[in-house]
Chains A and B, each alone.
Chain A
Amino acid sequence: MAADHSERTCTLEVFRFHPETDEHPRFQTYQVPYHEDWVVLDALNHIKNEIDGSLTYRWSCRMGVCGSCGMLINGTPRLSCAAFLRDYYPRPIRVEPLSHFPVIRDLVINFDDFLHKLQEVKGWLVPREPRSLDDGEYRQTPAQLAQYKQYSMCINCMLCYAACPVYGHNPEFIGPAAIALAQRYNLDSRDGARDERFQVIQSNEGVWECTLVGECSAVCPKNVDPAGAIQGAKLQGAREWWASLLLSWGKSRT
């Protein structure tokens, strides 16, 4: 690729908060070199390496698979490694920590709540019945895989939580990614813990708190479609609720 010899600069307005010295957060403006192929993460790394080493943020793979670098970029939850400067230049780029989470320092958020929820929905395979190594590997058809594959793509980046106004108002809400993960296992032919997970996601703080704003699926960088997972769970839950009601009426009359 031809080298970009321009000396153009791009402006970043970055959220800063150092609790040991700052009463309130503030924004700090930086000028970074503009490159056609740079993403916001490149700009942040440049700031930290060349301008201001005190800037604190999370990142890792820089290629959209680890889920570490989620931030608000001009108000939209995005992976900073996927947001190209050229999509915003020449206008300034505002970088803030993901919304709806407490801020620890600069762009670093506390997401313990999300981790608790991943555990609560039992985000792992619970075998339908005990198996030994002698039983060999699980067998699954492509059609069975297709039932849950989309929901298995989640990289736990939490952009969906930052986009969800319901979670913003009510941190008790289990939230898009955790429910999508629950459905990933519920729909997996190998799994047997659907009833336990339904205890959690069919509660008032689970799928029924969702009002289908749809922003979660709009911001998801991996097309997991958590809104779809939630809608599917609502449909399942409502059908079963009515079925068990009608069944118990039927039983009580025989």
Chain B
Amino acid sequence: MRRTRSSEPLWWIPFAGGMMLDALVLPALILITGILLPLGLVSPETLHVLVGLPVVRVALAVLIALTFFHAAHRLRYALVELGLHALKPVLPWLCYGGAVVGSAYTLLVAFRLI
């Protein structure tokens, strides 16, 4: 009929992965950098050592990239629902484009290429 094929399935898997990963690890990470560190229960040295380890860098890069896709998918719809109906055609490009660029940059940083 007059139904348009959707490209959303492409973005939905990284979105869903990001949503779940954020749900599982972000509260603890925010607690660490935001509360435990200022309280002295976590030492800056520990964090410095950890973000130098390749496995940690890759894990963080995956977390950051998927978080970008999580936000991109949600905001792509929410901004329209808040009243910005005129932006509906460009929002997928802006949001997913931003997530792709952000993720690429993150990977480059993680592998110390930037």
Residues of A within 8 A of B (CB): 120, 165-166, 169, 199-200, 202-206, 208, 211, 234, 237-242, 245
B90 touches A (CB below 8 Å) = no
Interface of A is mostly: helix
- Interface footprint category on B: 10 to 19
Cross-interface CB contact of A211 among B4, B10, B16, B78, cutoff 8 Å: B78
* A-B CB pair tally, cutoff 8 Å: 49
Cross-interface CB contact of B10 among A165, A234, A241, cutoff 8 Å: A241
A204/B12 in contact, CB under 8 A: no
B9/A242 in contact, CB under 8 A: yes
A238/B13 in contact, CB under 8 A: yes
List 25 A-B residue pairs with CB atoms under 8 Å apart, sorted by A's residue number: A165-B81, A166-B81, A169-B80, A169-B85, A199-B3, A202-B5, A202-B6, A202-B9, A203-B3, A203-B5, A204-B4, A204-B5, A204-B6, A204-B8, A205-B3, A205-B4, A211-B81, A234-B9, A234-B12, A237-B12, A238-B9, A238-B13, A238-B16, A241-B10, A245-B10
A203/B81 in contact, CB under 8 A: no
- What residue of chain A has the Cβ atom nearest to residue B74's Cβ? A211
Contacts of A206 in B (CB 8 A): 3, 6
User: Bound state CA distance, A245 and B11, in angstroms?
Assistant: 13
Distance (whole angstroms) from the CB of A117 to the closest CB of chain B: 11
Distance (whole angstroms) from the CB of A174 to the closest CB of chain B: 8
Contacts of B4 in A (CB 8 A): 203-205
Distance (whole angstroms) from the CB of A137 to the closest CB of chain B: 33
Contacts of B10 in A (CB 8 A): 241-242, 245
B1/A120 in contact, CB under 8 A: yes
Contacts of A240 in B (CB 8 A): 9
A237/B9 in contact, CB under 8 A: yes
